[in-house]
Amino acid sequence: MTRDFVLVHGTTQTPAGFDRLMAELTVCGHRGVAVDLLADGPDHDVAGFAKVVRRQTGAARPVVVAHSGSGVLLPAIGAALGAAHLVWLAAYIPAFGTGRSLRDEAAADVEALFHPEWPGVDPTADLAAADHFLFHDCAPEVRSWAHGTLRLFHPAVLPAHAAGERPDIPSTVIVPAADRTMRSSWMCAAAQERLGVEAHEVPGGHCPHVSHPEAVAAVLRRLA
């Protein structure tokens, strides 16, 4: 059956960052819809961003895929869309039921979550940093294309939002083996401890939908 996949960008790319993944999903007979969290500006709470997404898609019972820091928003977006499944793609998984935020977790042990070179870097303003942290595993022509997808998305709600209860929607976690921003080991552990699932490891760095879209699509099509 044809499945709708709603793709939610992270903190460093526009929706165009999903173009290569959407092409792979189309080959598999599915539909990808890349939404823009900044369509109505950056000043929303979590529920507000969920409404922004809902206004951009009429997909019924979609699989919702969130990248990177947008994992903070994924439970609310999934609930707003009546999602059949949530996918955490190289994403932060909140500490459900604790009331802790990403900021709280980073303050407690930042190097448990992130590689020490990453905090404070803005790859959207520095192509060398983008190549090192985001696109180091890309072919040269893909890397050049990916530069055009860079855009900062850093609303105040992402680090500050206190985690609610674990969503009552099935989840899949996709972890890139060579991530240079978030620690792959942390994401794998969080998948087990916070969602009760085993992570699916794929090749590449923090943007596997750019460098290895076929590997990400192979995981996603199992959810169709």
Question: pLDDT tens for residues 177-216?
Answer: 999 999 999 999 999 999 999 999 999 999 999 999 999 9
The full 3-state SS of 157-210, as one line of letters, equals HHHHCCCCCCCCCCEEEEEECCCCCECHHHHHHHHHHHHCCCCEEECCCCCHHH
- Predicted pLDDT at 126: 98
pTM score of the predicted model: 0.97
Query: What would the mean pLDDT of 66-87 be, rounded to a whole number?
Result: 98
Confidence of residue 224 (pLDDT cuts 50, 70, 90): confident
Residue 64 has pLDDT above 90, yes or no: yes
Residue 80 has pLDDT above 90, yes or no: yes
Query: What would the mean pLDDT of 99-124 be, rounded to a whole number?
Result: 97
Residue 71 has pLDDT above 90, yes or no: yes
Q: Are strands 63-67 and 85-89 parallel, antiparallel or unpaired?
A: parallel
Sign of torsion over alpha carbons 196, 101, 7, 145:
negative
Residue 5 has pLDDT above 90, yes or no: yes
Measure the CA–CA gap between 65 and 53, rounded to whole angstroms: 12
Query: What would the mean pLDDT of 137-143 be, rounded to a whole number?
Result: 98
Q: In order of start, what are the domains of the chain with their CATH numbers? A: 4-223 (3.40.50.1820)
Query: What would the mean pLDDT of 47-72 be, rounded to a whole number?
Result: 97
119 CA to centre of own chain: 17
- Predicted pLDDT at 189: 98
- Predicted pLDDT at 9: 99
- What is the token pair recorded at 161? 């939002």
- What is the token pair recorded at 110? 């930042």
Confidence of residue 137 (pLDDT cuts 50, 70, 90): very high
DSSP E strands: which ranges in the chain? 4-8, 31-35, 63-67, 85-89, 171-176, 200-202
Measure the CA–CA gap between 155 and 223, rounded to whole angstroms: 30
| Rg over CA atoms, the chain | 16
Residue 1 has pLDDT above 90, yes or no: no
Measure the CA–CA gap between 9 and 12, rounded to whole angstroms: 8
Cβ distance 41 to 31 under 8 Å? no
Neighbour-count burial for 163-177, b at 16+ CB within 10 Å, e otherwise: beebbebebbbbbbe
Provide the mean pLDDT of the chain.
97
pLDDT digits (tens, 9 = 90+) for 146-174: 999 999 999 999 999 999 999 999 999 99
Confidence of residue 143 (pLDDT cuts 50, 70, 90): very high
Neighbours of 200 (CB within 10 A): 18
Residue 77 has pLDDT above 90, yes or no: yes
Measure the CA–CA gap between 112 and 150, rounded to whole angstroms: 26
Residues in contact with 136: Cβ distance below 8 Å, sequence separation at least 6, in sequence order: 178, 180, 205
